């Protein structure tokens, strides 16, 4: 029977208790010895370490942990479920953690009682902050006050929390160089939320990027500046979903003249923009070029393939989970690196010529 | 000067309850109205009672607002298979609307499963898959007096699903559709027969003997529709790669199948990519059908001939059942409607030479 089978498997697994017995010490002593506690005599520490090594004892498995990892996105996981790229990240994290025998708790969105409840009292070994948390968010502060280590998906460059390093800036720069290469000099932007401190949807005036504190949004705006593309209108969205892109497109359609290029901060925003523009009879890329970010496979747009930056969300999630493993086993952080590439697609073409003077015949 | 440490009395006064009531609630004991419990906790939180790394009240079932989920296997399949993802999404959404958070439990066979299960007092447990023998979890939950709502459960003594999907009528429609197109030799790529993972061609045994109700029902539907499969290929997981391997075996058989009936869209996606690798066209050379009717990006502009079942609705129905059970009710099972959808991946059977 499978139940017995599982029991047997457990007997074979070396526990701290077995290590302690074999090393002729108390369990608490064995635990201290393995952590290198100086109160334990050096030769005892050595003996315990040897026994542990011999038995293949994995301290991670036995660490006094709840085995629960939190995963939280500021806007709530329901939005994440609507985004295939985020789902890939979540699946990578869940897969990595389940290999460690951990449970994954989807923390309710910030601002709800459930959120505060989890953050303040549920025994978490580690918590993943996916989107929309500034370095100084109260969620993060509460977790850290309780000693729950956090892993941050979109970390500031100087953030000490473990994250995943990518060549995101370079890949986005490559994408910008592609659009410049076909003749674009000016781009309108459909941006991710720009600030953790307010929610805004609509055109914004950005004289500089000082107030932009959401990492991916700021980086993408900075890289566009560095590439030499002139920044035209910027439409800020409240979240990275198709309907926000559609609203942005409606705003562009109401302008006296459509931009020739719309740089979107995510593929889902770009899908919304393309859908709404196409619906209005605008041709992509003949009339307007559109770029995205994430590199999703989007069947609804076929045969149109978005110019975008492709990244492997699943791999990103696995790398984050691996960071958690290092953290929980007391190993020094060694950020995983993820390689992103620019994809030309077919949603970018030369800028449309200036409309010729209307000739009436 | 530091503020005095908040006392139970202060928490009680602020919440407008007797100190003894507050004390019980903070210890997670006694039975009180939900809003009383909430008021005491809010009061404790506002006053910072007990908050220095330690939870102000112990974790007991009925107080955590957390639902444990034994998800699909492999766990990433839960998010990568479109139908599974929809189920989780519907489940999560309905639970969240009722202030219950969702926790994915580690795979049952992981040696830490019991520890995690014990460390996290849950309110209710959801079992989603037939791929595991869930008898031990059901037993453990029962001992703790936990409600268990199962979408599917695996193992010899698995109870019937609480969200019923009648696979037979739509699969009979699949059979009739293929018969109408002239197909006579068909292969089926099926899910597991039991909780034991196997992979390969299996003798087409009588479907009654199959333990897994999903596999059984979907094969039975074909028989009911008048087109029993000539070949059956069982896979361990509903993963595209396994189906891609399967077609390489199936297309070497004699007589060669002219249609492949897959028990999930993910399997159909894999079968089609495997057929393309063999240089075969769908549906000119081989017709392929799926199950779930999800959007498969790699197939565009093709639309899979499939059976529609709405995963989000399935998850929502299951969540409502679990929430009712958590409240001590005994809800009846729900039924999810399904229907056959003809797409562009099925066509007339090629003329035999």
Candidate from B42, B89, B101 with C-beta closest to A81: B89
- What is the predicted pLDDT for the residue at B27? 66
- Whether the domain at B1-58 and the domain at B165-308 fall into the same CATH topology: no
Of the two residues A254 and A137, the one the predictor is more confident about is: A254
Of the two residues A4 and A72, the one the predictor is more confident about is: A72
Give tens-digit pLDDT for B108-163.
877 778 777 776 768 889 988 777 778 888 887 887 778 889 887 666 677 888 89
Which residues in chain B have their CB less than 8 angstroms from residue A95's CB?
A: 74-76
3-state SS assignment for residue A341: strand
User: Is pLDDT of B57 > 70?
Assistant: no
* Residue B218: pLDDT band with limits 50, 70, 90: very high
Give tens-digit pLDDT for A33-56.
776 667 788 888 888 878 877 776
CB contact under 8 A, B116 and A67: yes
Placement of tokens 């720009």 in the chain:
A194
Average pLDDT over residues A107-124: 82
Query: A153-167, A175-189, B213-227, B231-245: lowest mean pLDDT where?
Result: A153-167
Contact (Cβ atoms closer than 8 angstroms) between residue A182 and residue A285: no
Of the two residues B243 and B207, the one the predictor is more confident about is: B243
Which residues in chain B have their CB less than 8 angstroms from residue A114's CB?
A: 65, 96, 99-101
Q: Contacts from B220-223 at CB under 8 Å and sequence distance 24+?
A: B220/B167, B220/B168, B220/B171, B221/B167, B221/B168, B221/B169, B221/B170, B221/B171, B221/B172, B221/B174, B221/B175, B222/B171, B222/B172, B222/B174, B222/B175, B222/B186, B222/B188, B222/B261, B223/B175
N- to C-terminal Cα distance for chain A?
Answer: 89
What secondary structure letter does DSSP report for A1? -
pTM over 0.80? The answer is no
Candidate from A67, A92, A120 with C-beta closest to B51: A120
User: Is pLDDT of A114 > 50?
Assistant: yes
Q: Which CATH superfamily is domain B165-308 in?
A: Response regulator (3.40.50.2300)
A115/B45 Cα distance (integer angstroms): 13
Query: A74-78, A139-143, A192-196: lowest mean pLDDT where?
Result: A74-78
B166/B153 Cα distance (integer angstroms): 16
- What is the predicted pLDDT for the residue at B63? 59
Nearest one of A321, A311, A332 to A151, comparing CA atoms: A321
User: Is pLDDT of B61 > 50?
Assistant: no
- What is the predicted pLDDT for the residue at A58? 58
In B, minimum Cα distance to A72 occurs at B101
* Residue A69: pLDDT band with limits 50, 70, 90: very high
Q: Cis bond leading into A127, ω under 30°? A: no
N- to C-terminal Cα distance for chain B?
Answer: 96
Helix (H) or strand (E) holding B313: helix B311-326
Listed by start position, the domains of chain B span 1-58, 66-163+312-335, 165-308
Average pLDDT over residues B40-66: 60
Candidate from A9, A102, A120 with C-beta closest to B45: A120
User: Is pLDDT of A221 > 80?
Assistant: yes
User: Is pLDDT of A8 > 50?
Assistant: no
* Residue A166: pLDDT band with limits 50, 70, 90: confident
Average pLDDT over residues A165-178: 94
User: Is pLDDT of B1 > 80?
Assistant: no
Which residues in chain A have their CB less than 8 angstroms from residue B35's CB?
A: none
Of the two residues B169 and B82, the one the predictor is more confident about is: B169
Query: A10-19, B41-50, B307-316: lowest mean pLDDT where?
Result: A10-19
- What is the predicted pLDDT for the residue at A355? 63
Which residues in chain A have their CB less than 8 angstroms from residue B101's CB?
A: 105-108, 114, 118
- What is the predicted pLDDT for the residue at B341? 94
* Residue A60: pLDDT band with limits 50, 70, 90: very low
Average pLDDT over residues A313-340: 86
Give tens-digit pLDDT for B21-52.
887 777 656 667 767 877 887 787 677 665 44
Q: How many CB pairs under 8 A join A and B?
A: 150
Shortest distance between the Cα of B181 and any Cα of chain A, in A, equals 28
Residues of chain B with pLDDT > 90: what percent?
43
Give tens-digit pLDDT for A177-203.
999 999 999 999 999 999 988 889 999
Of the two residues B204 and A254, the one the predictor is more confident about is: A254
**Mean pLDDT for chain A?**
84
- What is the predicted pLDDT for the residue at A3? 37
- What is the predicted pLDDT for the residue at B123? 82
Q: Does B7 touch chain A (CB under 8 A)?
A: no
Instruction: Specify whether domain B1-58 bears CATH 1.10.3720.10.
Output: no
List all residues 6 or more positions away from A322 whose beta carbon is below 8 Å from its beta carbon.
Answer: A96, A336
Shortest distance between the Cα of B6 and any Cα of chain A, in A, equals 17
Of the two residues A15 and B87, the one the predictor is more confident about is: B87
* Residue A9: pLDDT band with limits 50, 70, 90: very low
**Mean pLDDT for chain B?**
84
Among A4, A80, A106, the residue to mutate for chain B (most B Cβ within 10 A): A106
Instruction: Specify whether domain B66-163+312-335 bears CATH 3.40.50.2300.
Output: yes
- What is the predicted pLDDT for the residue at A62? 45
Q: Determine if residue A292 is left, alpha or beta; phi over 0 gives left, psi from -120 to 50 gives alpha, anything else beta.
A: beta
Mind listing the domains of chain A with CATH numbers? 2-62 (1.10.260.40), 68-165+313-339 (3.40.50.2300), 168-310 (3.40.50.2300)
- What is the predicted pLDDT for the residue at B46? 73
- What is the predicted pLDDT for the residue at B5? 65
CB contact under 8 A, B296 and A114: no
In B, minimum Cα distance to A86 occurs at B79
- Residue B194: CB atoms within 10 A of its CB come to 17
Query: A46-60, A140-154, A257-271, B308-322: lowest mean pLDDT where?
Result: A46-60
- What is the predicted pLDDT for the residue at B30? 63
Tokens representing residue B312 in the block: 């989000």
């Amino acid at each position: 029977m499978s139940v017995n089978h599982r029991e047997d498997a457990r007997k074979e697994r070396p526990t701290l208790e077995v290590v302690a017995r074999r090393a002729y010490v108390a369990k608490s002593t064995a635990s201290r010895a393995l952590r290198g506690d100086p109160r334990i005599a050096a030769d005892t520490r050595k003996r315990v370490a040897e026994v542990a090594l011999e038995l293949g004892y994995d301290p991670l498995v036995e660490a006094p942990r709840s085995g629960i990892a939190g995963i939280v996105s500021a806007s709530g996981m329901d939005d994440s479920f609507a985004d295939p790229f985020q789902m890939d990240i979540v699946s990578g994290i869940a897969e990595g953690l389940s290999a460690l025998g951990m449970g994954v708790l989807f923390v309710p969105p910030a601002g709800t009682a459930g959120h505060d409840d989890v953050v303040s009292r549920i025994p978490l070994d580690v918590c993943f902050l996916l989107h929309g948390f500034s370095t100084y968010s109260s969620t993060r502060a509460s977790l850290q006050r309780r000693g729950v280590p956090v892993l941050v998906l979109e970390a500031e460059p100087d953030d000490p929390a473990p994250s995943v390093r990518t060549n995101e800036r370079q890949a986005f720069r490559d994408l910008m160089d592609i659009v410049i290469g076909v003749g674009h000099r000016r781009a309108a932007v459909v941006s991710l939320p720009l600030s953790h401190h307010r929610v805004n949807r609509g055109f914004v005036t950005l004289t500089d990027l000082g107030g932009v504190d959401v990492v991916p949004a700021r980086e993408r705006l900075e890289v566009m500046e560095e590439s030499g593309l002139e920044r035209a209108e910027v439409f800020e969205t409240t979240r990275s979903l198709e309907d926000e892109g559609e609203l942005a497109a409606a705003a562009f359609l109401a302008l006296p003249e459509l931009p020739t290029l719309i740089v979107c901060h995510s593929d889902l925003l770009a899908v919304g923009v393309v859908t709404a523009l196409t619906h209005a009879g605008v041709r992509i890329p003949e009339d307007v070029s559109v770029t995205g970010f994430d590199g999703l496979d989007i069947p609804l747009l076929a045969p149109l393939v978005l110019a975008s930056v492709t990244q492997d969300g699943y791999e990103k999630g696995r790398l984050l989970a691996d960071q958690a493993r290092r953290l929980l086993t007391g190993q020094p952080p060694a950020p995983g690196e993820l390689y992103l590439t620019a994809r030309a697609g077919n949603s970018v073409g030369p800028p449309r010529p200036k409309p010729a003077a209307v000739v009436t015949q | 000067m530091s503020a005095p440490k908040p006392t139970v009395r202060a928490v009680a006064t602020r919440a407008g309850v007797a100190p003894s009531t507050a004390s019980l609630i903070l210890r997670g004991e006694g039975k009180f109205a939900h809003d009383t419990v909430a008021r005491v906790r809010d009061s404790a939180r506002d006053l910072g009672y007990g908050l220095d790394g330690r939870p102000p009240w112990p974790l007991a079932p009925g107080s955590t607002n957390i639902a444990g989920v034994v998800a699909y296997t492999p766990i990433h399949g839960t998010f990568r298979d479109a139908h599974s993802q929809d189920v989780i999404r519907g489940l999560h959404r309905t639970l969240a609307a009722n202030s219950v958070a969702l926790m994915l439990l580690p795979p049952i066979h992981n040696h830490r499963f019991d520890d995690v299960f014990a460390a996290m007092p849950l309110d209710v447990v959801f079992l989603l898959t037939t791929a595991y023998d869930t008898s031990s979890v059901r037993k453990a939950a029962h001992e703790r007096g936990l409600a268990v709502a199962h979408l599917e459960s695996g193992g010899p003594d698995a109870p019937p699903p609480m969200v019923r999907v009648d696979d037979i009528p739509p699969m009979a429609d699949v059979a009739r559709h293929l018969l109408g197109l002239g197909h006579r030799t068909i292969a089926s790529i099926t899910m597991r027969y039991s909780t034991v993972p196997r992979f390969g061609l299996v003798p087409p045994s009588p479907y009654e003997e199959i333990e897994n109700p999903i596999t059984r029902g979907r094969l039975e539907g074909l028989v009911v529709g008048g087109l029993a499969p000539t070949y059956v290929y069982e896979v361990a997981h509903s993963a595209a790669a396994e189906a891609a391997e399967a077609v390489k075996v199936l297309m070497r058989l004699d007589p060669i199948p002219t249609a492949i009936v897959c028990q999930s869209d993910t399997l159909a996606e894999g079968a089609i990519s495997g057929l393309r690798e063999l240089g075969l066209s769908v549906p000119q050379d081989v017709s392929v059908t799926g199950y779930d009717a999800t959007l498969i990006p790699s197939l565009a502009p093709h639309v899979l001939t499939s059976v529609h079942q709405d995963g989000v609705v399935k998850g929502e129905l299951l969540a409502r059942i679990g929430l009712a059970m958590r409240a001590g009710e005994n809800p009846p099972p729900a039924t999810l409607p399904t229907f056959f959808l003809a797409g562009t991946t099925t066509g007339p059977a090629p003329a035999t030479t």
